[in-house]
Structure 1
Amino acid sequence: MIKTFCGVDTSKQHLDARIVPGEAFARFANDAAGIAKLAAFCAEHKADLVVMEATGGFERLAFTLLWEAGVACAIVNPRSVRQYAEAMGFLEKTDRIDAFVIAHFARNKDLKPTLPASKNQCRLKGLVVRLRQLTDDLVVNQQRRRQVEDDEIRATFDEIIALFKRQSRRLEGEIASLIDDDPLWAVLNETFRTVKGVADRTVARIMAELPEIGTYDNKAIAKLVGLAPLANDSGKKNGKRSIRGGRSGVRSILVLVAGTARRYDDSLADFHRRLTAAGKPKMVVRVALAHKLLVRLNAKARDARAQYANAT
């Protein structure tokens, strides 16, 4: 049972740490030397778990190095912490107060460690993110090129577009090799592709951004992605249900792919027709299709993981 928590407020330059229960507080530099001192601080105060907010990357080095030093860590949603702080009456906001609130939030939620991703998982996620950035940049520059009539100016766009295309092809090859070289990923890749409409980039996005697929039940995975309709009922009122939160990257690709998959899958096509005939709004239909596709992929991943485990 975790008894002592260390809340850490992270920024680009500093790590502000507060031990709960207790009064111990210290500030460290957000670099390797400072993180080593933070690990020693946690050991001195016998902290069972270090808790940090997801702050757009400033927490990554500390999370990685603390785990390497044998210090268990967890990452929490900053919005949840802020709502908790306001509910508890902490309207002020300073680094010291934030560290204290994070620790108290973790203690009351009885948080468990967030296991670090493997090197291959981090590599895959990085490659997928960069490929998506290149794709977005490619589309923008192609649109700009179409708006230009001067041949010399167009030539400058041609150079950039050619570069983006070369880099995209190289990244696609690296992603494919990374997936093929991992036995479990190779099995999941083959499994996902049995659903027509699910191709290379969709598989890569799912594996990079939703590594939990196949390990959660259908309701949990839908909520994790943000495709689970959330209840809004009170007394006799049955409020309109909507989706919120979750992993927007995976959700957006599933919404897009589900529209393609229904062209090849009769059950998805029938589901789409029923919802449309019932007068459901287009976005509701698209989300429902994405939810159905996610549940199907999750079930296939669960079976594939079980078969892989039995085979090994």
Structure 2
Amino acid sequence: MLNICGVDVSKNVLDAFVASSGTYARFANDADGIAALAVLCRAEDVELVVMEATGGQERMAYLLLWQAGIGCAVVNAAAVRYHARSKGLLEKTDRIDAAVIASFAAMKDVQAGDPPDVDQLHLKALVTRLSQITCDLTVQKQRLSSCDDAEARASLDEVISLLKRQARHIEGEIASVIDDDPLWAKLAEAFSSIKGVAGRTIAILMAELPEIGLISNKAVSKLAGLAPLADDSGKRKGQRHIRGGRERVRSILYVISWIACKYDNSLAAFHRRLIEAGKPKMVARIAVAHKILVRLNAKAREARMEMQIAT
């Protein structure tokens, strides 16, 4: 069994618990604190550091620990909390949470994740920022539409112009990052062959779903949150719903599903059959999004194979 260090991550601190020795320590969630955590892990012969996904607050620790040669994994926070309840732990402190993370990782035989890819992280940061700007633009335009004061409208126009310039700049940066990577460029070419799939969709797929083309259709559907999950018990056959997964990928595929139906007769016919069978419109749209994802996964698999043959 691996010697595991569970780390409870917050904005400013990292609480670490080494399972084998029961050692507990707190570090600052910055470069110096993470370096000190790495020293502790080496002293305790830690083989794996496990932390919860905390909305990005764990990224620096994950990156720097890997760079220090210490394998890391990120686990689902809700799953860890359920594990704590199953053990009868109703108390919740940072120290307890770190110990529970280590216990959960041991029970589930968690293995080290993939070493962080700096280019992948950079692309994801750009895509995230573009999404933020797009949301800000929507808000400012809504405010402009309901504003009658000339001076206030001028201020809103100025902000909208700035956001549009930033959006164009980041779109250009994203395109450059993708074009500079031979594999990403090949994948982008393959994805764009599907009608309705354009620049932003491609960027989100690259940033949020790097596993595309490497795993099965069922697995990629689960990752994107587009796989209907069973809800059966005994004789009861519950209605299947999608949930979880990578929200940004699911959302963009749902958005483009309608566009794709306009240009692809087979998708349009598939959507029409579902509607005629009595399926709700949203269910039909999700089914189309799922079919698009399966096609994208197949395109990515072919593109990766061609790259391997070429090299």
Q: TM-score, normalised by structure 2?
A: 0.97
CA distance in 2, matches of 1:70, 1:148: 56
Matched, 1:287 2:286: yes
**What's the counterpart of residue 103 of structure 2?**
104
Deviations 1:214-250 (A, max 9, x none): 1110000001111111111122211111111100111
- 1:301 offset after TM fit, Å? 0.3
Secondary structure of 2:78's counterpart equals helix
Report the AA paired with residue 60 of structure 2.
L
Q: Cα distance 1:29–1:152, how it changes in 2: closer, same or farther (>3 A)?
A: closer
CA distance in 1, matches of 2:32, 2:143: 46
- 1:203 offset after TM fit, Å? 0.4
**What's the counterpart of residue 311 of structure 1?**
310
CA distance in 1, matches of 2:235, 2:21: 45
**What's the counterpart of residue 13 of structure 1?**
12
CA distance in 2, matches of 1:56, 1:297: 27
CA distance in 2, matches of 1:287, 1:41: 48
**What's the counterpart of residue 266 of structure 1?**
265
CA distance in 1, matches of 2:240, 2:29: 42
- Given that 2:231 and 2:240 are in contact with CA atoms closer than 8 Å, whether structure 1 keeps it comes out as yes
**What's the counterpart of residue 79 of structure 1?**
78
**What's the counterpart of residue 274 of structure 2?**
275
- 1:188 offset after TM fit, Å? 0.4
Secondary structure of 1:12's counterpart equals coil
Matches within 5 A, 1:125-144: 125-144=124-143
Gaps (5+ residues) in structure 1? none
Give the fraction of aligned pairs with identical amino acids, expressed as a percent. Answer: 59
**What's the counterpart of residue 45 of structure 1?**
44
Deviates more, 1:183-192 or 1:237-246: 237-246
Report the AA paired with residue 288 of structure 1.
A
Secondary structure of 1:75's counterpart equals strand
- Given that 2:4 and 2:102 are in contact with CA atoms closer than 8 Å, whether structure 1 keeps it comes out as yes
Deviates more, 1:274-283 or 1:30-39: 30-39
Matches within 5 A, 1:112-127: 112-127=111-126
CA distance in 2, matches of 1:116, 1:57: 16
**What's the counterpart of residue 22 of structure 1?**
21
- Given that 2:63 and 2:116 are in contact with CA atoms closer than 8 Å, whether structure 1 keeps it comes out as no
- 1:278 offset after TM fit, Å? 0.6
CA distance in 2, matches of 1:124, 1:24: 37
Q: CA RMSD in A?
A: 1.1
Report the AA paired with residue 231 of structure 1.
A
- 1:152 offset after TM fit, Å? 2.2
Secondary structure of 1:195's counterpart equals coil
Deviations 1:34-71 (A, max 9, x none): 21221111111111100001112221221111111100
- 1:256 offset after TM fit, Å? 0.7
Q: TM-score, normalised by structure 1?
A: 0.97
Deviations 1:236-283 (A, max 9, x none): 211111111100111000011111101111111111011100101112
Report the AA paired with residue 164 of structure 1.
L
